[in-house]
Amino acid sequence: MRISDILNESRTFFDVPGKNKQELIVNIVERAAKASNEIKNVKKFTQEVLEREALGSTGIGDEVAIPHARTENVNQLLMAFARAKEPIDFEAEDGLPVRLIFLMGVPIKELKSYLNILAKLSRVIKIQKVRDVLSQTNNPKEVIEIIKLAEDGLIT
C-alpha cells in the first residue's frame, strides 16, 4: 500500500485555521469528514484523535505532525493532509511549530497497514523538497504528485 493510495485530492486542505493544536485538529477532522464518508462518527473520532494527542505529541519535527487514532470510527485507513494557516505549537520533538499535518484514522484491524504507511510517510516527509512543496503549493494535485515522486524514489 502506498501513501498515494489513501491520500487523495479531496482530503487535501490549505490554510486551515486554528489557535492551538486541538482547534486545528478539530478543523481538519471536520474537513476530512465533509470530503469523504470514511468517518463513521465524527465527534467520537475527533475525541479519539485528541485523546491520542494528549498522551504525547505527534509533532515529529521539521514542522510536521501526524495526529492519528486507532478506532472503530473509520471505515478504512484514512489520511488527510492539511497545511495550517499559521504555525502551531505541537510540542514537537525539535521545538519547532507545526504547519504540515497528516491526519490518520486507522481501523483497529489494520495495524500492519498503518505501520507500513507510517514508515513510508516518515521517509517521504524527511525529504526537504517534499516539505518545500507542501509548504508552498495551493494545488491538491501537486501534493499528491510530490508524494508519488518521493515514494517512487525519483526525488531525494
Q: Mind telling me the catalytic residues?
A: 68
Rg (CA), the chain: 14
The C-alpha angle 29, 30, 35, rounded to 5 degrees, equals 95
CA dist., res. 91 & res. 136, Å (int): 23
CB atoms within 10 A of CB 148: 15
The three grid cell numbers given for residue 154, joined into one nine-digit string: 525519483
